Every structure is written in C-alpha cells, then in structure tokens.
Structure 1
C-alpha cells in the first residue's frame, strides 16, 4: 500500500519532467530560434557600432577643446603642451583625494 502512495506522488512529477524536456527540445529546434539569434546578432553589432561612434565623438570633442585651450593660451603668450592620449584603464591611487 505504501508504494501506491509513493507511485501516485511520483507519476505527476515524472510526467511533468518528460513534457518539459520534450517542449525544450521542440523549441530548441524551432525555426524562430534562428530568427532570434540573428536579431540578437544584429543588436550586438549595432551596439558595438554605437560604442565606436561614441568613442570617436568623444575623442573629437576632446581634441576640439584642446585646440581652443591651446589657441587661448597662445593669445596670452603661454606655451601649452600637445594633447596626450588618455588611458581609460588607468586608475587613481586610493589616497588621491582630489579626484
């Protein structure tokens, strides 16, 4: 009698598992998966293009500001060093309270 109670509780769980596996395998083979992967790839490509354009724009803005500052300093008779490349991976020291 005890095994009947255990069997009655186990059967729905096993059936649910089998149905879940079958559904997962069917969806993995579905044609819309290719469309989803393609759409995701296009989205990633667009994101990378946007990041690249943003970086280029920021660099142009930085150089434009450096040109304006250099011209202003030149009018005042000061000598200004050429702009340098900024390393985004550089980190500040922990004790640097100014930044």
Structure 2
C-alpha cells in the first residue's frame, strides 16, 4: 500500500513535470518568434532611417551642386534656366 502511494505520487510528479516542460517549450517558442520578429522590425526601422538620411544627404548635395553651377553660369554671363524648366532632349516633335 505504501508502495502504491509512492508510485502514484511519483507518477503525478512525472506528469506534472512533463506538462511543465511542454508548457515551457511552448512559451519559449512564442518568445523566440516574438524576439525574431522584434529584431526584424528593429533592423527594418534602422534601414528606413538610414535610407531617409541618405536621401536627405543626396538632396542637399544636389542642391549644393545646382547652386555652384548657377553661380558659375552667372560668372561667365550665362543665364541659368528656371528651376524645373525643360532643357529639351535633342530633337523636335
């Protein structure tokens, strides 16, 4: 009788431990998925910030170059075309 109670208690502990291990593995998988997704979102956000910074830098460089070209044209007596004016593409329509 004591042996039966002992075996029953041991079986109960094994089942409880197994259920806990399965639950722990499930939680670990969910946390891992969330961590991977969170990392992916963070890396993408950094990439977007970098792209925006690069676009801003490129626009500043383009504007600075346009200012230099306009000033150079003024020095040699040419009139700079209006911003956005069509410069043509080498043939008539």
**Under a length normalisation based on structure 1, what TM-score does the superposition of the two structures give?**
0.53
**Contact 1:73/1:80 (<8 A) preserved:** yes
Higher RCO (C-alpha 8 Å, min separation 6): 1
* Match runs of 1:51-90 below 5 Å: 51-84=51-84
Query: Structure 2: which 5+ runs fail to align?
Result: 1-25, 85-93
* Match runs of 1:1-99 below 5 Å: 26=26, 29-84=29-84
Q: Deviations over 1:18-46 (max 9, x none)?
A: xxxxxxxx599431111111110001111
Aligned length: 59
Runs of 4+ with >6 A deviation: none
Looking at structure 2, the residues matched to 59 and 30 of structure 1 have their Cα atoms a distance apart, in angstroms, of: 43
Look up the SS of the partner of 2:78 in the other structure: coil
Looking at structure 1, the residues matched to 83 and 65 of structure 2 have their Cα atoms a distance apart, in angstroms, of: 10
Looking at structure 1, the residues matched to 76 and 70 of structure 2 have their Cα atoms a distance apart, in angstroms, of: 10
**Under a length normalisation based on structure 2, what TM-score does the superposition of the two structures give?**
0.56
